[in-house]
Chains A and B, each alone.
Chain A
C-alpha cells in the first residue's frame, strides 16, 4: 500500500479532484497547507511597510492506493495540477504498513 501526497496550487484543486475521480479513485483527504519551494515567498505592503511572506498557501491532497496504482495516480495528479509556472508543487509517494477501516475494522488492502 502506498500513500500518494500532492502539494498543489489551491486553484488546481478542483481539476485534480475531478481527474482523480475520473481515474476511479474513490476517496481522498484534502487539507490547507502553507510552504515554499523554489518559488520562494512574495511581498506585501501595508501602509508603506514591506513584508516578505515566506509561506505561500497550498493545498495538500492525500490518496491511499494499492501499491501497483501509485505511479498512475501520481501521473494523474501531476497532469491535472500542472500550469508550467514556478510554484506548482510536488507529489511524493510513501509506503504504508497498515490501514484500518474504522466502520468495519477491516485491515490492510481490504480497507482501501
Chain B
C-alpha cells in the first residue's frame, strides 16, 4: 500500500467537483493581482509599482513556502490543536506518490488532495497580500518579503489549522466551542462557523495591518499633505476582478459543484451589492457625493463580510450582512485620522471590520442556529469567542514577526526615498513617463 493511499480516504474521483475546485483555485489566485490594482490605484503615482509589487511578492514567497511546510502546518496531524506538524507532509509528502504505473494521488471525498493544495495556497497568498495596504509607500521591499514568510508561518498556517484543519477553533471535542458549550460524540454542540475565512483571512490580516501600522509609524506628511488616490479606474478594475475571483473563494469553499456552492455564489453577490449601496448612501449623506472609491470599497467590504457567512445565511440574510458591513466599514475608515495611525489603504477599516462583522452576524442570521432564526444565543457567543481568539493569535504572531524584521533588516526606507518616491529608489523603475527626455543607452550585459 502506498502512503498516498493511506493518507486519503480512497474514494473514487468525482470529476465534476474536481473541475470546479480547479476552477475555483484559479479564480482565487486572480484575486491577488486584482488586489494589486485595487491598492495600486489608491497610492500616489510615485509609489504604484512598489504597492503592486508587495502583492506580487507575496505570491512569490507564499507560493514556494506553501508546498514546503504550509500545507503540512495547515492540514497535517495536529500539534496540540495549534498547528499541523510541519514535517509530516513536508514538500507534500504523501499527497501524491510516483509509482511505476504513474502517480498515485491521495483522495478526499472524491477530490484529489493535490487539488485542495492548489486551492488552499491561493488563500494563503491573498491573506498575506491584504496586509500590505497598511504599509504603503514607506517599507523596504526585502523586509516585506521576510515578513511575508514569517507571518504566514506564525499566523496564517496555524489559524488555518485551528479553524479548518480540525484545530482549536474547529468543532472538535477539545476545541474552544466544546470547552464552552460541551460536546456530543466527539463534536462540539455548537460548531463555530467560518465558511471561507472571516477569522483566518480577514480578521487575521486586519489585525496584522493594525499592529504593523502602529509599529512602523506614519508616512511623512500623513494627515497634513494630500495623499490622493492617483488612479481610481485601477481601483475599480481591481474591485471588479476581486468580486469575480471571490466566487472561487466563497463558492469554491463549498468544496463541490453543488447547491451549497450556488447558495454561496448568490449570497456573495447579494451581500456585495448591498454593501456597495450602503457605502454610497453613507457617503451621499455625509460627504455629498457617492464616489467611485466608495463604491469599490463597499464592494470589498461586502465580499469580506459575507466570506464567513456565505454557506449559512439566506440571500435575505446576506442583504443584512452586506448592508451592515458596508455602513460600519464606511464609518470605520475615518478612525485612523482620529487615532493617528497610518493604515494607509484601510485594511483595518475594511477587512478587520468587515471580517468581524460577518463572523459575528452569523450568530444572528445563520438559518440553522442564529438568534433571529430561533437558535438562541449560543452560536452568537461562539462566533464572538472565536473572533476574539483569532484577534489575540494574530496580534501576538504579528508582533513576533514584525520584531524579527525590525531587529534584522529594519522596516522603513529613508525619508529621502519616501519623499522622492519609493518606486525609483527601491525598484529602479517609474510607472509613468512624466518627463519626456529619457535617453536610450544600449549596453549589452
Interface set, chain A 33-56, CB cutoff 8 A to B: 44-51, 53
Chain B nearest CB: distance from A60 CB in Å? 19
Give Cα A44 to B289, complex, Å: 9
Give Cα A46 to B226, complex, Å: 10
Establish whether residues A44 and B297, one from each chain, have CB atoms under 8 Å apart when the complex forms: no
B293 within 8 Å of A by Cβ?
Answer: yes
Closest to B337 in A: A49
Closest to A47 in B: B333
Closest to A46 in B: B293
Residue-wise, chain B 196-236 has the 8 Å CB interface mask toward A (1 for contact) of 00000000000000000000000000000010110000000
Give Cα A45 to B293, complex, Å: 10
Give Cα A47 to B229, complex, Å: 10
Instruction: Find B229's partner among A46, A48, A50, A53 (CB 8 Å cutoff).
Output: A46
Chain B nearest CB: distance from A96 CB in Å? 27
Cβ–Cβ < 8 Å partners of A53 in chain B = 226
Establish whether residues A46 and B228, one from each chain, have CB atoms under 8 Å apart when the complex forms: yes
Establish whether residues B297 and A47, one from each chain, have CB atoms under 8 Å apart when the complex forms: yes
Cβ–Cβ < 8 Å partners of B291 in chain A = 45-46
From A44, A50, A51, A53, residue with most partner B Cβ within 10 Å: A44
Establish whether residues A45 and B287, one from each chain, have CB atoms under 8 Å apart when the complex forms: yes
Bin the interface of chain A by size: under 10
Classify the secondary structure of A's interface with B: strand
Chain A nearest CB: distance from B225 CB in Å? 10
Establish whether residues A48 and B333, one from each chain, have CB atoms under 8 Å apart when the complex forms: yes
Give Cα A51 to B283, complex, Å: 15
B326 within 8 Å of A by Cβ?
Answer: no
Closest to A50 in B: B287
B334 within 8 Å of A by Cβ?
Answer: yes
Cβ–Cβ < 8 Å partners of A49 in chain B = 334, 337
Interface set, chain A 43-91, CB cutoff 8 A to B: 44-51, 53
B370 within 8 Å of A by Cβ?
Answer: no
Give Cα A53 to B225, complex, Å: 11
Give Cα A51 to B337, complex, Å: 13
Closest to B297 in A: A47
Give Cα A53 to B228, complex, Å: 10
Give Cα A112 to B263, complex, Å: 73
B423 within 8 Å of A by Cβ?
Answer: no
Chain B nearest CB: distance from A43 CB in Å? 9
B294 within 8 Å of A by Cβ?
Answer: yes
Give Cα A14 to B129, complex, Å: 47
Cβ–Cβ < 8 Å partners of A48 in chain B = 283, 286-287, 330, 333-334
B346 within 8 Å of A by Cβ?
Answer: yes
Supplied contacts A48-B286, A50-B287, 5 more A-B pairs, CB within 8 Å: A46-B293, A47-B293, A47-B333, A47-B346, A53-B226
28 A/B residue pairs, CB under 8 Å, sorted by A: A44-B228, A45-B283, A45-B287, A45-B288, A45-B291, A46-B228, A46-B229, A46-B291, A46-B293, A47-B293, A47-B294, A47-B297, A47-B333, A47-B334, A47-B346, A47-B349, A48-B283, A48-B286, A48-B287, A48-B330, A48-B333, A48-B334, A49-B334, A49-B337, A50-B287, A51-B226, A51-B228, A53-B226
Chain A: residues with CB nearer than 8 A to chain B?
Answer: 44-51, 53
**Which 3 A-B pairs rank lowest in CB-CB distance, beginning with the nearest?**
A48-B334, A45-B287, A47-B333
Chain B: residues with CB nearer than 8 A to chain A?
Answer: 226, 228-229, 283, 286-289, 291, 293-294, 297, 330, 333-334, 337, 346, 349
